[in-house]
Structure 1
Amino acid sequence: MSLTRATASAPARTVGAAPAPDALRAVDEAAWGADPISLAELNARSSLLTRFDRSYLVPVPTFLRVVGRLTEDDRAGGPFRALAIDGRRAFRYHSVYYDTPDLRSFHDHRQGRRLRFKVRERVYEDSGERQFEIKLKGARGDTVKHRRALIGTDSALGAAQQMFLADTLRRAYAMEAPGMLGPSLSTDYLRVTLVADGQRITCDAGLVCVDLSSDREVRADGGLVLVETKSAAHLTEADRLLHARRVRPAVFTKYCGALAVLRPALPGNRWRRAAHQAFGRVAH
């Protein structure tokens, strides 16, 4: 995908604008084809800080068919609705991931360690909100997210955040925090979020990942939407609809998948198949 942060906020159907890649048009269409839901109602119905996640790399035609089913008015339990804030339904996200010099987080995920974590700063670019986030793996294989707002000039590696990380890891894992963290990868993308009771689907397009040690970047295929299903249950309606269309979960995360192709010397074989599908072959 060729989206840059400067153009990410423009609706894909803006008159006179250059045609957007298919995935950007598709998530825009999905967002405006659904009824809206406010952030307050989303948090009340489907906050899901503890949840099961599945990732899919979905061709645009399949994505639109699945979303069409989920947003039908006669869906049992009511249609999925699109998050809407201040008239927007597609939102720009910028994240910076932090890791140790030897990439402890990457390797713990590669080895499937039960006690593993990711640390990132997430910026909601349309509002300016910033969050320091720690993602842990729960005892059932679920994802547990802990977050702390960053205010003003707060640094993601400031003393308060370091203490929050240390307390979180000690309470959850009886583990000491790593002694040194630095920025390793940034991601930028456009996200639409669809919500029903206890279920959430994030639909990402325009993904750009930058290796912060070298400034090398990869951009996702414009014909694919990165879909993540999130729920308190193991298998959702969206999962079943995707499986019925022969789209299986991808062994893919933005952080690990991008590093696997940006740094080919890393032992990242578990992600490379899906990463090459997402980003194509990267010249080194």
Structure 2
Amino acid sequence: MSLDKVSPSAAAAVADIPSGASLAVGGFGLAGIPWFLIEALLEQGADDLEIVSNNCGVDGAGLGLLLEARRISKVIASYIGENKEFGRQFLAGEVTVELTPQGTLAERMRSGGSGIGAFFTPTGIGTLVAEGGLPWRYNADGTVALTSSPKDVRTIAGKEMVLEESIVTDYALIRAAVVDKAGNCRFHSAARNFNPPAAMAGRITIVEAERIVEVGGLAPDDVHLPGIFVQRIVELTPEQAARKSIEQRTTRKRIR
């Protein structure tokens, strides 16, 4: 495989993503989301997408754009968040939502990328996560159309644990601060959230890079994600790299 994985543009990098594809998408809220890959996919036109991400963006930004355009049919996420349209579509029966505990979701992606088929965890024991019956889809009249099934529960080392299946997706979209041409990635601060496990879960992983360096330009200890997990790289302009919106801003008076 070539050590130069740089694509000419975001549009070219996502051009072959078909309708019906599954995608793992990095980020938490708006921190570390692949802004420009999402927008390129919106322009590309693929629909009936299954998204695996911590959440589904916010109204008017990130994955919220694909949701508003009715391009997403299913979301596997850990929370609805403050995306009002996401909540509305879920309750109206317009999208299927598989809510998963946050740490479990991260591990489902990481283990999928590691070739592990499933794993046991105590998270969810004694709840609908393990027992089944968690609403996944509603009818238009508000009744429940689809629920989760009960999961295998076993006692391991004296503790009850539930079996969770790993996740592997067709594609993954992520964002990184520095990427070398072989795909080795370094993430900055909070952007090192769901980006590494999302990248691992994708069969074809596309990263938008705030800066690209030559192979060897990253010290080994600075590599947060090995290039083996990355197939395509899109270089952002300095203006694009500086785009980092804040989902919520909370301030208080300075104490002098």
Q: Give the alignment's TM-score, normalised by structure 2.
A: 0.30
Q: Give the alignment's TM-score, normalised by structure 1.
A: 0.27
Query: RCO greater where, 1 or 2, for CA within 8 Å and sep 6 or more?
Result: 1
